[in-house]
Structure 1
Amino acid sequence: MAAPSFPAGFDFTDPELWEQRSPVEEFALLRRTAPVWWNAQPDETSGGFRDGGFWVVSRHEDIKEISRNADLYSAQRKGAIIRLPNETTPEQMELTGALLVNMDPPKHSKTRRIVSKGFTPRAVEGLRAALTERAARIVHAAKQSGGGDFVQQVACELPLQAIAELLGVPEVDRRKLFDWSNATLNYDDPEYGDTNAAFAEIIGYAWNMAEQRRACPVGDIVSTLVNDGLDGEALGSDEFGFFVVLLAIAGNETTRNAITHGMKAFVDHPEQWARYRAERPKTAADEIVRWATPVNAFQRTATADVELGGARIKAGDRLGLFYSSANFDEDAFTDPFTFDITRDPNPHVGFGGTGAHYCVGANLARLEIDLMFNAIAEVMPDLTELAEPVRLRSGWINGIKSWQVRYE
């Protein structure tokens, strides 16, 4: 089978590419002809890595295999973020090793065990009443405005409120958390602020919160995470700071984008919106996540020479796990380009695939998506599009910055 031919310099992590579109056709070509394909990168466009490039992993089955094998495919060696700012220094890369997504076992196992206390079914269910009320408040306020930016007025609000509620962030500070997370994550887009300054702001804010709860526990999740429980495990103030960075990004930005992409899908597929309004299937949230795939890709680094998908991978090579390709793999899904809110089974990798790095907050994300679309269906079911969404300029986030709509 002939190897795929792309224009010189084509890069699956190019922020300008993702600002315009998702490379659907290119991914389909790779799945058919070269499911593990070498994407060369000159140093000046390597996103801070300067190692010649990375392997694009496009098939569902290969991504699942990599996700299950943390010994052979490390998240720690070069981190999980596939594209960093070009000016990123080795010292800054090393600093990000304190993020859960960039850890390998056994450190990852211990940290995740502590963090998971905040996302038990009981903890998530305990947020339902407050989030239900806030989802209703959000859509009522949006409808009263008549129309505007769906991202700002609707999609961003509930994920932000959920994180703030979980952490006990005062109402007056919640918008700052939103702005900091935007700037920290969206460094490829010139619209946003200073990434390093925003990162430091979140760390400092969370550090102070941890110190306060350690000195005076108040019975909330923060107090639980930073004080020794029955198992004697707790997060240090610095570890808690990095946890909040991850939560503000993974729990806020990704769910916000899933909600926006999901509503856009409903507008484009009105028969699915009619079915949702009539049936409210519990399968809808996972189909929305699959369709949206808020994180295009994470990466792993091979710890030994290995063969995968017909390619010979060398120890030290980076591999990009492109969930945005795997979630539309014809071998894993029946009619993958059909938006079907009753899809079952739905083995999507929108929460990071299987294995140790499966999203710890997946159940909270499902709850937020379910509550948000229920509220929209009840209060403003005839929402209409006024303009196409404005996509985020990012090499690894499938984001929407704004979307003008009318609320009806």
Structure 2
Amino acid sequence: MHINLVDQDHYATSGPPHEQLRWLRANDPVYRHKDEPDFWAVTRYEDVVHVSRHSDLFSSSRKLALFNEVTEEQRALQRLMMLNQDPPEHTRRRSLVNRGFTPRTIGALEQHIRDICDDLLDKCSGEADFVTEVAAPLPLYVICELLGAPVTDRDKIFNWSNRMIGAQDPDYASSPDEGGAAAMEVYAYANQLAAQRRANPRDDIVTKLIQPDEKSGETLGEDEFDLFVLLLVVAGNETTRNAASGGMLALFEHPEQWQRLVADPGLAGTASDEIVRWVSPVNLFRRTATADTVLGGQQIGEGDKVVVFYSSANRDTSVFPDAEVFDIGRDPNPHIGFGGGGAHFCLGNHLAKLELRVLFEQLARRYPRLRQTGEARRLRSNFINGIKELPVVMG
């Protein structure tokens, strides 16, 4: 079988290459992928979890966590972001950021998120684009709430996120430098927010993060804070947006599951986990081997590029019975759509699941005859399994 797991045109037309991934899991689960530079493609659940939980062997910092190669100068700046750090530095940073994401803080948002969903759905009538009118605004409103930013800033945040994530998609990026330009705009925005909160503290995550930690007395530096806001703008937006739109598409493609949800909106909790498993909004992350090691029977050399594919691991039949079946009642559901554990398990996983649960519960109750009216358009990206447009009729 011809293997190319990073062909962006394939993702734009068909999504992740599940047929290739299925073959690799069965025949060559840690596969030497001939690319420039070549890399090890890790496709089985067990191996993805192993890589995720051994930051000492598989570094996020050496060559960063994203797939594409960048210059050492770019790496130096990006290593200030948690995504591109290893313990113990990552542990220190995460302990500071965790202050804004406690279960109590997230749980307190449920009614607010329900109000946001109702407000968005109130504005939908007749024909609509599910992505731009429902799936995208929801996490943007929530991010504005977390940052204490005006809701009117959501369009700016949407634009920045699209330009950074969609650098290979002609609808979002007009040049290779667009992503960097958008990042600089986010840095400036974060600086303004921090300055405002220093002058006028409020009960929001920005104020918490710029204040010294109660136990250690440590605080985030200016660059550290700016890069955290950048991470929140992308990770807090893209994953929920694309899980919601991909989940809605999955429900259209499996109408019997939509009818189950309509009949019992209480299934929205297990449905949100199954949607994350099925969609796997983040398709892959890159690690770099810090020493010679063995993975899945393959000899990995120090410095080798190792890429974990969550969209493959989440359909591993050794872990998920009937893995190719979309089942909104699936329980247990040990998916790794928020990462395979270890240091980089998604900080905002509880928030994302809360947003998805509330959204699909409200959709099932309010629009039981919701239907798709046109073809979904996918993002040209091998990193984010994204949907740009999903025409629907609310009903």
TM-score by length of 1: 0.92
Counterpart CA distance in 1 for 2:42 and 2:61 is 18
| Map 1:101-250 → 2, pairs under 5 A | 101-142=83-124, 144=125, 146-193=126-173, 194-231=178-215, 232-250=217-235
Tell me the amino acid that sits aligned with residue 115 of structure 2: E
Whether the 8 Å contact between 2:242 and 2:386 is mirrored in structure 1 is yes
For 1:82-101, what aligned pairs fall within 5 Å after superposition? 82-83=67-68, 88-101=70-83
- Alignment match, 1:25: 19
Are positions 1:265 and 2:250 aligned together? yes
Does structure 2 conserve the Cα–Cα contact (< 8 Å) formed by 1:306 and 1:313?
A: yes
Native 8 Å contact 1:76 1:104 kept in 2: yes
- The answer to whether the Cα contact below 8 Å between 1:83 and 1:395 also exists between their aligned partners in 2 is no
Aligned to 1:46: none
Match of 2:370 among 367, 383, 386: 383
User: Offset of 1:38 from its aligned partner?
Assistant: 0.8
Does the aligned pair in 2 maintain the 1:188–1:395 contact within 8 Å? no
**Contact 2:41 2:309 survives alignment (8 Å):** yes
Provide the residue aligned with 2:47 in structure 1.
62
Q: What do residues 274-330 of structure 1 show as CA deviations (whole Å, max 9, x unaligned)?
A: 221222222111111001100110111110001111211000001110001000011
Query: 2:32 aligns to what?
Result: 38
Query: For the Cα contact (< 8 Å) 2:164–2:182, is it kept in 1?
Result: yes
What is the alpha-carbon distance in structure 2 between the residues aligned to residue 384 and residue 141 of structure 1? 17
SS of 1:199's partner is helix
1:83, CA displacement in angstroms?
2.9
Per-residue Cα deviation, 1:149-205 (whole angstroms, up to 9, x for no partner): 110011111111111101111122221011111101111112113111111001110
What CA distance in whole angstroms lies between the structure 2 residues aligned with 1:263 and 1:190? Answer: 24
The residue number in structure 2 matching 1:49 is none
Question: Does the 8 A contact of 1:207 with 1:238 survive in 2?
Answer: no
Give, in whole Å, the separation in 2 of the partners of 1:323 and 1:286: 14
C-alpha contact (below 8 Å) 2:163/2:172 kept by paired residues: yes
Q: CA deviation at 1:395?
A: 2.1
Whole-Å separation in 2 of the counterparts to 1:382 and 1:356: 42
Q: Give, in angstroms, the shift of residue 363 of structure 1.
A: 0.3
By how many angstroms is 1:91 displaced?
1.5
- Counterpart of 1:365 in structure 2 is 352
Task: Quote the Cα distance in structure 2 between the aligned partners of 1:92 and 1:240.
Answer: 18
Q: Which runs of 5+ in 2 are unaligned?
A: none
CA contact (8 A) 1:13 1:83 kept: no
How far is 1:271 from its partner? 1.6
Matched residue count: 387
Separation (CA, whole Å) in 1 of partners of 2:313 and 2:47: 9
Cα separation, 2, equivalents of 1:116 and 1:79: 22
- The letter for the 2-side match of 1:153 is E
Q: Is the 8 A contact 1:391 1:400 kept in 2?
A: yes
Letter paired with 2:152:
V
Identify the residue that residue 343 of structure 1 maps to in structure 2: 330
Give the partner amino acid of 1:115. V
2:342 matched to 1:355? Answer: yes
Shift of 1:216: 2.9
Q: What is aligned with 2:281? A: 294
What secondary structure, in the 3-state scheme, does the structure 2 residue paired with 1:283 have?
helix
Distance 1:103 1:67 in 2: 13
| Matched residue SS, 2:79 | helix
Q: Read off the aligned partner of 1:82 and give its amino acid letter.
A: F
- Does the 8 A contact of 2:141 with 2:154 survive in 1? yes
**In 1, distance between residues paired with 2:382 and 2:77?**
21
- Structure-2-length-normalised TM-score: 0.95
Overall identity of the aligned pairs, in %:
46
Separation in 1 of the partners of 2:306 and 2:198?
40
Q: What letter corresponds to residue 10 of structure 2 in structure 1?
A: L
* C-alpha RMSD over aligned residues: 1.3
1:81-106 deviation per Cα after TM superposition (whole angstroms, max 9, x unaligned)? 1136xxx4332233211221111001
Matched position secondary structure for 2:5: coil
| Structure 2 SS opposite 1:98 | coil
Read off the aligned partner of 2:35 and give its amino acid letter: Q
Residues 67 and 353, structure 1, Cα contact 8 Å, conserved in 2: yes
Tell me the CA shift for residue 366 of structure 1. Answer: 0.4
Shift of residue 208 of structure 1? Answer: 1.7
Runs of 4+ in 1 over 3 A off after TM superposition: none
